[in-house]
Amino acid sequence: MTDVRDNMIEAMERLISGDMDAKTGQAIASLGKQLVDTAKVEVAFIKTTGIAGSTGFINIADPTEAEAQEKQKRLEQAKQSKFNVEGAKEIGHVK
């Protein structure tokens, strides 16, 4: 989707600068509208079915990957928290 967005912005810049004719600009705009309509259908599908994941058009992290990343984050936070408690014990702030 990022590439599509970048290409649309580039086309707008070329239209403004006069490097692209209006007919070509209209064709590009029509294709852009079709892509947006496709994305709307995909979002409606996800909402209707409750199935989350990458559709290939809009990239969404794999739920298992996201869960693993969240687990790792919590583990790191727990390690840091334990380190802080142990450090506080060593200097007498926690018994």
Instruction: Render pLDDT for 7-48 as a digit per residue (tens, 0 to 9).
Output: 888 999 999 999 999 999 999 999 989 988 888 888 888 788
Contacts of 88 (CB under 8 A, 6+ apart): 94
Q: How far apart are CA 70 and CA 76, in angstroms?
A: 10
Which of 85, 15, 7 shows the shortest CA–CA distance to 93?
A: 85
pTM of the model as a whole: 0.50
Q: Tell me what pLDDT residue 13 has.
A: 92
Q: Tell me what pLDDT residue 61 has.
A: 58
Which of 61, 1, 65 shows the shortest CA–CA distance to 36?
A: 1
CB 39 within 8 A of CB 1: yes
Q: Tell me what pLDDT residue 94 has.
A: 47
CB 62 within 8 A of CB 53: yes
The mean pLDDT value for 67-73 works out to 76
